[in-house]
Amino acid sequence: MNDSIMSDPVLQKIPESPHFPLLVDELEHTLLAVDQIGTKRIIRDHCKSDSPFTCIETLIVPALEEIGRGWEEGKVSLSQVYMSGRICETIVDAMIPDTDPSRSNSPRVAIAVLEDHHTLGKRIVYSVLRAGGYTVTDYGHGLTVDQLVTNVVRDRIQILLISTLMLAAALRTREAIAGIKKELPGTQVIVGGAPFLFDPELWKEVGADAMGHAATETLEIVKRMTAEV
């Protein structure tokens, strides 16, 4: 694990534990309680210091997935989903900073809000992806189609996530995706937001490769696309 983690005394001297599946519920409960210290202690006590990605894959991500399912079932608030993602993002950033060589094998991932100016949904997805160990370029909000296409082509993005709030912006993703695919045919595009939730077939109509119903589901889609990339 990167030496920078040693600056956090709660995350020092992390031993090995073979009991990750038994700890997911405990981690989920500390996250839902917004207990950052308790969350760090669980990771400190049960993760190997030289295997941060194992910890992410077998402990952190499953806990976030359970929280995501809780939100879909109406048992967890959106604020709890948001704070859980932020806590895990902070911990994973300490474990594996962007400068860590182990991130070099990750695909080039970016996220943006097309035309609209809402940011909460993007912020949640961004945090969950970061908590999953991905480096994500955030293009921000209010981008035009031309701005988004230019950014993606310039940065040779391999997996792009587009968030929209209004139907007009969702329909404009068709133009953005077409422009991106023309220059970078291999780029995978995931769309999300209210219009795509209201019309479950809309993502196909605009030419996207997938649609994320929730942040944790989007993480699973990115993981699958990573294998394909």
Distances (CA, A) of 132 to 36, 57, 85, 153: 17, 7, 10, 25
Question: What span, in angstroms and rounded, lies between the C-alpha atoms of 27 and 39?
Answer: 6
**Mean pLDDT value across the chain:** 85
Alpha helix (H) ranges present in the chain? 20-32, 36-46, 52-55, 61-72, 78-95, 120-131, 145-155, 167-183, 194-198, 202-205, 215-228
pLDDT digit string (tens) for 5-40?
434 444 444 444 444 556 889 999 999 999 999 999
β-pairing, 210-211 vs 109-113, is unpaired
- pTM score: 0.77
pLDDT digit string (tens) for 155-207?
999 999 999 989 999 999 999 999 999 999 999 999 998 899 999 999 999 99
Question: What domains, with CATH codes, occur in the chain?
Answer: 3-99 (1.10.1240.10), 106-228 (3.40.50.280)
Nearest C-alpha neighbor of 118 from the set 135, 96, 142: 142
DSSP 74-114: TSS-HHHHHHHHHHHHHHHHHHS-TT-GGGGGS--EEEEEB
78 against 100, higher pLDDT? 78
pLDDT digit string (tens) for 104-127?
568 999 999 999 888 888 888 998
Lowest mean pLDDT among 41-45, 180-184, 190-194, 222-226: 41-45
